[in-house]
Amino acid sequence: MSSEHFEKVQVIIKEIDAKNPSSEEELEQFRVQYLGAKNQIKPLFAMMREVAPEERKNFGLLLNEAKQKAEEKFEKIQNELKKQKSRVDHGFDLTAPGLPLPLGSRHPVSIVLNQIIDIFRKIGFTVVENREIEDEWHNFTALNTPDDHPARDMTDTYYLKNDLTRMLRSQTSTVQVHEMESKKPPIRIISPGRVYRNETISARAHAQFHQVEGLYVDKDVSFADMKQVIKHFARELYGDDVRIRLRPSYFPFTEPSAEVDVYWGLNSEEDYRMTKGTGWLEIMGCGMVDPNVLQMCGIDPEVYTGFAFGMGIERQAMRKYKINDIRMFFENDIRFLRQFASAH
């Protein structure tokens, strides 16, 4: 009679449901009874033969349910007892999961800077850093900047209140001077860092930002070498098909000097705004190191030549991530910073 067999299994299931072992001994009894080598469910499987063929499937399902219930209850109670034991042994629950550790993300300026560093490292440039509080010699004089240059004005540069011969550097070009004064060519460095200008803070300008300076001094370094290095850099950062152009410009410490533009396109209103209607974006200033600068830094301009370049990092990051307000970089709003968690 198969209904009897079904009933037997139902009874066992009810039993299992009702049991609540509350000690290790009771749990062990439970295990022996329902899961051990001689458990009570096992002989019921042998009764399968006595069940009508069309009911065998259901009988099998019921047996499996009984087995599963026993297993689940055993595991659940085993875990609970473990926790209890741990609480008693240690005063707290060693098995509890840890508190989630919130992972930070890299700042967008660091992300772009790391890319720039990678590009120049691969072609033999070393990364150096230098001070942010400078003297006039390094920030202006040795960079061939005349005494009456407007950048020297208090309205442009932050001088220290108690020492007007010192200032927050307004450009990373200061590192050129430090490098040339302390090393012999060949010199091939890039130098990232923070710079400060007495600006009215707006969406497009900030009183602090980051630059990367580059300097290459050796025998026979030419304008063509500079152009090649800059082209390589632009390709790596913007893609193989990038177009660049050099526009004549002026910097006190380079001669000749140029401004580098990359072609951005003019397909949208945004492109017009970003490129001021030209289709070209300015990415850096550059030039051949002025012989006066070499001389002032103790390098013989008859023997050595060099090129230098400098670029703003925020600008590149704004372009890359379509950030339209430079102030965001310094506000440390976590909602802004979190958006770069998966960037690298």
Instruction: Name the minimum Å distance from CB 133 to ligand DAH.
Output: 17
For the sheet with 208-218, list strands across it: 126-127, 187-196, 208-218, 305-312, 280-289, 254-263, 244-251
Residue at 52: amino acid letter: A
Interface with ligand DAH, residue 21, by CB under 6 A: no
Beta strands in the chain (DSSP E): 126-127, 133-135, 159-160, 163-168, 187-196, 208-218, 244-251, 254-263, 280-289, 305-312
CB of 64 within 8 A of CB of 41? Answer: no
CB of 230 within 8 A of CB of 244? Answer: yes
User: Is there a cis peptide before residue 100, judged by omega within 30 degrees of 0?
Assistant: no
Instruction: Name the minimum Å distance from CB 240 to ligand DAH.
Output: 25
Instruction: Name the minimum Å distance from CB 249 to ligand DAH.
Output: 8
Q: Residue 271 has which token pair?
A: 């492109």
Q: Residue 9 has which token pair?
A: 């299994």
Instruction: Name the minimum Å distance from CB 205 to ligand DAH.
Output: 13
Interface with ligand DAH, residue 287, by CB under 6 A: yes
What does the DSSP 8-state code read for residue 238? Answer: H
What does the DSSP 8-state code read for residue 341? Answer: T
Interface with ligand DAH, residue 308, by CB under 6 A: yes
Interface with ligand DAH, residue 108, by CB under 6 A: no
Interface with ligand DAH, residue 192, by CB under 6 A: no
Long-range contacts of 261-265 (CB under 8 A, 24+ apart): 262/234, 262/238
Kindly write out the interface string for residues 206-245 of this chain, putting x where it contacts ligand DAH by CB under 6 A and - elsewhere: -------x--------------------------------
Interface with ligand DAH, residue 174, by CB under 6 A: no
Interface with ligand DAH, residue 40, by CB under 6 A: no
Interface with ligand DAH, residue 316, by CB under 6 A: no
Interface with ligand DAH, residue 33, by CB under 6 A: no
Location of structure tokens 């020297």: 152
Nearer to ligand DAH, 151 or 337 (CB): 151
Instruction: Name the minimum Å distance from CB 247 to ligand DAH.
Output: 12
Q: Work out which of 140, 233, 304, 309 binds ligand DAH, going by CB under 6 A.
A: 309
Q: Which residues bind ligand DAH (CB under 6 A)?
A: 171, 173, 213, 251, 254, 285-287, 308-310
